[in-house]
Structure 1
């Protein structure tokens, strides 16, 4: 007979903790079973990676164990399939034990639990062998979902001290394990450290054990359940407190209480999201203005007159007219809506008209945001919401560029052909403005305060804004900008754009959160001192130490944003924000002229003085600190180190924190998905061929003002370049959009990259991309007493087991004769100091056989001209020594840039050969140039000057 229960007859009674044990046993059986079978049958194969095998590597990774071979793959998948039933039951029981009326968190955590289960199935049954990208997408989704699942389970834990303790320990250990695991993965992938992959694999297995162990703790809670189900201890009726209740009760006036202790309403969340998107559009348009202006002086080789459009941001001066200010404040949605012209600019082909549209969009957007802040000055909750939306919009813009390899997908230099998402951006903008127009996102919330007369002159508040705006734009609008400041070549001794750009974005979010919750600390002189030290460290040091300064400065700039804007709105908004944007533009010109000194009046006075720019920025921010402290209340309040109570803002604040958390998770996901594979191979390895090219890329803006990375990538791929030097490649300034073309090219082409001298080295840039590992590289600034600085890279690559030196060099301009002579002597000695086979990829500004040419091609350098008979050159040259020259070609540029692509082919391991030309038929097929560029070529790329490639034996 079926057993009896005190509440009636039941068919069967299954203790609830059996669900947890079934899940735990089947999960561990899946992983450990696959490990045992794999090590017994295929040990040497599963410990082998792309660089090392047994005995250097002696323990397999999780992915190689569960996904590569039969039968361990099947063992894993069978037990994971068995695990799925208990897993769904575990999530359901957890929802039952944590749910209570009026609380949305249990439902959210349950949804996350279901998502984790589904994504687990994704990376289980779509292995990296089947579909690497698909496997990675499911895996990163699973890891990202683990964060809210872990936190949510801890917050919703029933009052079981043992279970709470185990969850905290296991959850903390899980996230702590991620740090060394990622470290050793980078050691393996980037630095190729022997044995690093085994250490990484051990941490990976620990991660698996901790993940399953965390969910196993539910057995302690589910002992109160019996399946049919009867709650014999009353935990599911919602009458008893949870850990979250205790935390919120204790911390109701602190950060945790202000975020989680409020009711969640989707309409208000959509309002916050719409405001953040408008902030994203503001930063997208502002950052696009510089790059569209830059197009004109770039082609005029000097001031063009269009530079005046950078003053588009001074539109807040119109708010000095009281009737106009009232009109704008009362019709903010309409003013926001008119800025759509800036987003529509991409549909305009003529560069001049496109710049005009962008300029108008920036004008209207600056006017709208200033009016929004000013109009909310008597409403603390609304003002904080607007500041938060604008600041998080910057973070969203930086993440968009992180995801799209430093191009913003809604910029006017983007379109459907080169990767733009302009139509999508327009559609979402219309939805955001419509939400704003509905009135809910502009409605007042929180108590009103009476008007207060601010202390001190408004110019101090305005100067503080100027320094702040410039710092945010020049350093934080792209996550890789400050990383390029501290980059100094191979071996890698500092951060990389990927994955460490996510660190910069995390610091931005942390800084903003700190500024919202602790504004008195953020605006203090102590914080200013810390921020100033960070700026100095970033400016003066390289590698990791310099980057630590960058992170400190990042947090400070974001933290000081809320108090600065909150202070500035109490002054007359027209003149205060006019001063802010006007001097911001002064700093924009200043930081451009330190490198463009050869082309602007008075330029030599600020030549190479990025330190002056940073000092001026911090002094202006200091003015803002002085003004903010004057208006922050009593001295006791200034020293309280606690934010003023603002209960009305708490629910509203939580929505922006939720959005910020989502963006941080998105950033981490992008970093994971973009992490380089480092499994690059040359195009013709059987022939031991190096195909090398030199190209001046004109800052990745083509003749029609479109971003040219994709067209460049196509030509480099089709010409089968193994090594390519890029000149005029440093785009990490406001005027160039804070971009990095080398990231896109390196990832899409599968190449190692050396960015070359960074933006704080005051050059126009030189970069190196290589299919071969870069063993070592040093950066040089050649003698330039009069003209612009001449950058050079001296890199050593490992090509087919032989070390080859590659030099990438951009000489000074024609007007600076003495500079070019000194540079030729310096580089000649540098090349002559190398006893290895060498290739020079250069921009020399000489006539073949004349003047400085005889320093580059000389006994001292040991270098030979790839074709001494080619007298149609002036800028680009390819020189070499210690290699067999196989071929030489010149490929027309089309409309990508103003300079052709020159290509040389060299065979490694064979001695230098003579100058005898041979026909293509006499050359092995693997040594020939692609046929597609003969005759009319493709897309206006063709062999030109001598129409056909040259071959030598």
Structure 2
């Protein structure tokens, strides 16, 4: 009988599990063979890092083992190349196992699996030694893809035993990231001996868990046989198997989805749209105060535009029945009106930008309050609205973390300064189209009509306190870090990477509040949250930061409780009162620092503690109202299957946001090469600049323009004044983050926003050995901030002081501050430079105390009579140059720059010399001569001045 050509004879059959075992064995061989060879041949070299070697460090990191030396690098690359075949087969078999008609999730997971495989090849064959940037790009891409691969595999698991092991491996993998990051910070920032060895153990653990996660597929692939068929009969007589019967038996088996059969990409899109609408909400809420702040800033006093903050009380309009009904019936229309604020960046006139944002925010708040109220009849949908709103806050915070404290869709952003306005608008339109439909108002009252509802006024106070806490502390991951930062050496958290920890705690708190609302809404939880607020207010460093994390967790956890209570009352009552209280709190938090410029300011001068107490009491009022409401509700309310499924989509989105935050923290971790511009001449170029809070004359964020001119001036050290933006009215921003990271400089900022000053900052190419923050005497006017720091300049300790004195209207304050600072400078015998804002005329008044035998300081150019605010003073350093550079439209104050040579005695003569006699490395850049560049040029003298 002739052979059946179509079916053919089975030549070889391999059980599918051997694909997994081959992948597992060769993957482990790749890493551990390199480890064994490296430890045998180059032990001391691969355990050496930039700070320590053996015996302080005695175990190598993964990157040092597999990428730095031959032959271990070759062992790794050979075995990982062998692994690639089984890896592609593993992804293919997983797709075959999970693919079903009309199901797109398996295709997405397979695509992610292929992407991970290619990026693995990228960081394998392009090592950090070859190209550090591309190695990091491939590595970050691989880690980012790990989350959707892990979640996708869990969602598609059809074997309970395999799903159990996957959960264990995934938990170990992501749990290991916490100590991994901790020990990396201990090594990189704190330079702790042995920390890198501990880091290395956790890094190797990640390899074990990552490969182990994929090894679990052996349990799934036992049902497969890979068969080679001879369809032309050329190898008659070879092995025949039962592959057909096995495959036929397994064909069409139902998928046991860990997260249920009903996974729907449409519902994922709904969840994503809800979250993005929440992002737009928070973008508008944080944008308005920044725009309002611009006007008193440039008017140097009350401008009248401050009244714009009444927009936060817009839910009061929902007292109009017709409007409330219109919003409930057509929320999509009002959401489109809310999106209008994203177009404000197209308007050049600052006032028009403000007016459009006021309108947008009002529509945003009205839509939000009415939508939550309308969903009160459906607990599952109300929960998703609250979850989406909370995740929108986290998304906003993540975006600011990624864009270094600026929200990319703010009206102060555009393409030239890093804005993503067009992308933001496109996504907002799609989200509005997708998300808002007519709410379901039938199906029974979510809150029994006979039950207690508490007090609407108290519920409103709770909403207002919650809103204020979020807006003032949680819309930027580095705000609370700025509260507890107190100078060098580093004794607490830093913006990157610890901002990711703030974001993680926010997400954990939100999930906890949704799953355990009774615990989150208890008085015990309120007490713990209040204790966290007290620690944040009263302590610095880690103790204060632990309080910050506690407060952040509690705030997010109590969110579902307070909002769930608020919707039991008419929205004009609960959300309207909340908005009014929010306005009061915004003014309160401005008054504590701006007391010298506002009516009644001295009454709350420097009383951040009162502010925090008032805020926590308002949240307590909301908790009380919620407790009354919940007293009549069932203690254990069952969650519907649909509700559980909806929760899972939002948790997926939260996981993605958390992974993005971790990736941003990794990418932003300070690993710059802090090298001065002219080390061969031992030159230190120092400058002072009053940056007017990082908003330029036309109301655009000015960090990039500031960065460019600082870099072109080749400044090694610069003092920034009026630089503290970590308040609601300034958008909770930090200009030093962009400048320090882009310019490769150490950054110190302070005293912090809870110390009631307008801020000072120090950026340095030289290591900051030690720094102290000062609040100078100020019995009448505003507090004067100062930073005194010791820098390691070419092996010599040099003191630098950055100082902003009080205003012209307060002469007694300025006299006391002058005495304080002069004594401070006189107490040091080291070389010193003062970068300052003194508010005095040369050779007159307080000038003669700053430049005196008490301080020992000299003026960089006592013949420069055209000064009033900015001064550079020095002692025990050789001064070689001085220049004044125009500001263009970045701020209202010029840049003053001095050049000093470290290690040479101070010149006794005052003889000026022409530039031709100055060595090249000691000259100021030619770029700023004549008309200069982008409006920056040498002015007053029209050229730099040089001394022998």
Q: Quote the residue 1:540 is aligned against.
A: 538
CA separation in 2, counterparts of 1:567 and 1:727?
Answer: 44
Is the counterpart of residue 930 in structure 1 residue 925 in structure 2? Answer: yes
Is the counterpart of residue 120 in structure 1 residue 120 in structure 2? Answer: yes
Verify the 8 A CA contact 2:787 2:803 in the aligned structure 1. Answer: yes
Matches within 5 A, 1:436-835: 436=435, 439=437, 442=439, 449=446, 452=449, 455-634=453-632, 637=634, 640=635, 642-835=636-829
Deviations 1:146-197 (A, max 9, x none): 3454566577767686x77876665554444433332232222212334433
CA separation in 1, counterparts of 2:513 and 2:271?
Answer: 18
CA separation in 2, counterparts of 1:509 and 1:746?
Answer: 28
CA separation in 1, counterparts of 2:183 and 2:377?
Answer: 52
| Residue 361 to residue 303, structure 1, CA distance change in 2 (3 Å) | same
| Residue 235 to residue 125, structure 1, CA distance change in 2 (3 Å) | farther
CA separation in 1, counterparts of 2:167 and 2:376?
Answer: 42
Question: Once the 2 structures are TM-superposed, how far is the Cα of residue 230 of structure 1 from its aligned partner?
Answer: 6.4
Paired residues, number: 925
Matches within 5 A, 1:62-101: 62-68=62-68, 72-95=72-95
Deviations 1:374-401 (A, max 9, x none): 2222222222222222221111111111
CA separation in 2, counterparts of 1:19 and 1:155?
Answer: 22
CA separation in 1, counterparts of 2:255 and 2:361?
Answer: 52
CA separation in 2, counterparts of 1:29 and 1:325?
Answer: 66
Q: Quote the residue 2:177 is aligned against.
A: 178
Verify the 8 A CA contact 1:467 1:617 in the aligned structure 2. Answer: yes
Verify the 8 A CA contact 1:380 1:448 in the aligned structure 2. Answer: no
CA separation in 1, counterparts of 2:197 and 2:532?
Answer: 37
CA separation in 1, counterparts of 2:654 and 2:166?
Answer: 25
What secondary structure does 2:341 align onto?
helix
CA separation in 2, counterparts of 1:347 and 1:240?
Answer: 53
| Residue 950 to residue 411, structure 1, CA distance change in 2 (3 Å) | same
Q: Quote the residue 1:427 is aligned against.
A: 426
**Range with greater deviation from structure 2 (164-173 or 556-565):** 164-173
Q: Quote the residue 1:21 is aligned against.
A: 21
Taking structure 2 as the reference length, what is the TM-score of the superposition?
Answer: 0.92
CA separation in 1, counterparts of 2:157 and 2:332?
Answer: 44
**Range with greater deviation from structure 2 (685-694 or 671-680):** 671-680
CA separation in 2, counterparts of 1:654 and 1:941?
Answer: 54
CA separation in 1, counterparts of 2:640 and 2:313?
Answer: 32
CA separation in 2, counterparts of 1:403 and 1:803?
Answer: 35
Question: Once the 2 structures are TM-superposed, how far is the Cα of residue 464 of structure 1 from its aligned partner?
Answer: 1.1
Q: Quote the residue 2:840 is aligned against.
A: 846
Verify the 8 A CA contact 2:408 2:420 in the aligned structure 1. Answer: yes
| Residue 381 to residue 165, structure 1, CA distance change in 2 (3 Å) | closer
Matches within 5 A, 1:62-211: 62-68=62-68, 72-95=72-95, 110-147=110-147, 149-150=149-150, 171-211=170-210
What secondary structure does 2:12 align onto?
coil
Is the counterpart of residue 871 in structure 1 residue 870 in structure 2? Answer: no
Is the counterpart of residue 947 in structure 1 residue 946 in structure 2? Answer: no
Deviations 1:125-144 (A, max 9, x none): 33334443332232123223
Question: Once the 2 structures are TM-superposed, how far is the Cα of residue 355 of structure 1 from its aligned partner?
Answer: 0.9
Q: Quote the residue 2:878 is aligned against.
A: 884
Deviations 1:590-630 (A, max 9, x none): 00110000000110110000111111111111111111111
CA separation in 1, counterparts of 2:538 and 2:522?
Answer: 25
Matches within 5 A, 1:187-266: 187-219=186-218, 222=221, 225-228=224-227, 236=250, 260-261=259-260, 263-266=262-265
What secondary structure does 2:377 align onto?
coil
Q: Quote the residue 1:353 is aligned against.
A: 352
Question: Once the 2 structures are TM-superposed, how far is the Cα of residue 68 of structure 1 from its aligned partner?
Answer: 4.2
| Residue 654 to residue 218, structure 1, CA distance change in 2 (3 Å) | closer
Q: Quote the residue 1:275 is aligned against.
A: 274
CA separation in 2, counterparts of 1:739 and 1:551?
Answer: 19
What secondary structure does 2:416 align onto?
coil
Question: Once the 2 structures are TM-superposed, how far is the Cα of residue 327 of structure 1 from its aligned partner?
Answer: 2.0
Matches within 5 A, 1:393-408: 393-408=392-407
Deviations 1:34-61 (A, max 9, x none): 4456567766655554445566555543
Verify the 8 A CA contact 2:793 2:902 in the aligned structure 1. Answer: yes
What secondary structure does 1:11 align onto?
strand
CA separation in 1, counterparts of 2:261 and 2:223?
Answer: 29
Verify the 8 A CA contact 1:137 1:673 in the aligned structure 2. Answer: no
CA separation in 2, counterparts of 1:744 and 1:145?
Answer: 27
What secondary structure does 2:699 align onto?
coil
What secondary structure does 1:918 align onto?
coil
Verify the 8 A CA contact 1:455 1:631 in the aligned structure 2. Answer: yes
CA separation in 2, counterparts of 1:723 and 1:612?
Answer: 37
CA separation in 2, counterparts of 1:938 and 1:704?
Answer: 19
CA separation in 2, counterparts of 1:68 and 1:687?
Answer: 34
**Range with greater deviation from structure 2 (446-455 or 826-835):** 446-455
Verify the 8 A CA contact 1:99 1:236 in the aligned structure 2. Answer: no
Question: Once the 2 structures are TM-superposed, how far is the Cα of residue 685 of structure 1 from its aligned partner?
Answer: 0.8
Verify the 8 A CA contact 2:595 2:602 in the aligned structure 1. Answer: yes
Q: Quote the residue 1:256 is aligned against.
A: none
CA separation in 2, counterparts of 1:277 and 1:442?
Answer: 18
Question: Once the 2 structures are TM-superposed, how far is the Cα of residue 96 of structure 1 from its aligned partner?
Answer: 5.1
Q: Quote the residue 2:240 is aligned against.
A: none
Matches within 5 A, 1:894-909: 894-909=888-903
CA separation in 2, counterparts of 1:643 and 1:684?
Answer: 69
Verify the 8 A CA contact 2:857 2:875 in the aligned structure 1. Answer: yes
CA separation in 2, counterparts of 1:663 and 1:235?
Answer: 41
| Residue 43 to residue 650, structure 1, CA distance change in 2 (3 Å) | closer
Deviations 1:626-657 (A, max 9, x none): 1111111438x4xx4x4554455333333222
Deviations 1:298-350 (A, max 9, x none): 11221111000010122222211212221222121111111233111111111
Q: Quote the residue 1:917 is aligned against.
A: 912
Unaligned runs of 5+ in 1: 1-6, 246-259
CA separation in 1, counterparts of 2:447 and 2:212?
Answer: 56
Question: Once the 2 structures are TM-superposed, how far is the Cα of residue 712 of structure 1 from its aligned partner?
Answer: 0.2
CA separation in 2, counterparts of 1:695 and 1:235?
Answer: 77
Verify the 8 A CA contact 1:732 1:739 in the aligned structure 2. Answer: yes
Question: Once the 2 structures are TM-superposed, how far is the Cα of residue 25 of structure 1 from its aligned partner?
Answer: 3.3
CA RMSD of aligned residues (A): 2.8
CA separation in 2, counterparts of 1:23 and 1:470?
Answer: 53
CA separation in 1, counterparts of 2:873 and 2:837?
Answer: 11
Q: Quote the residue 2:363 is aligned against.
A: 364
Unaligned runs of 5+ in 2: 1-6, 228-242
CA separation in 1, counterparts of 2:759 and 2:855?
Answer: 24
CA separation in 2, counterparts of 1:89 and 1:934?
Answer: 64
CA separation in 2, counterparts of 1:546 and 1:446?
Answer: 47
CA separation in 2, counterparts of 1:357 and 1:218?
Answer: 55
What secondary structure does 1:686 align onto?
helix
Verify the 8 A CA contact 2:371 2:439 in the aligned structure 1. Answer: no
CA separation in 1, counterparts of 2:575 and 2:519?
Answer: 24
Taking structure 1 as the reference length, what is the TM-score of the superposition?
Answer: 0.92
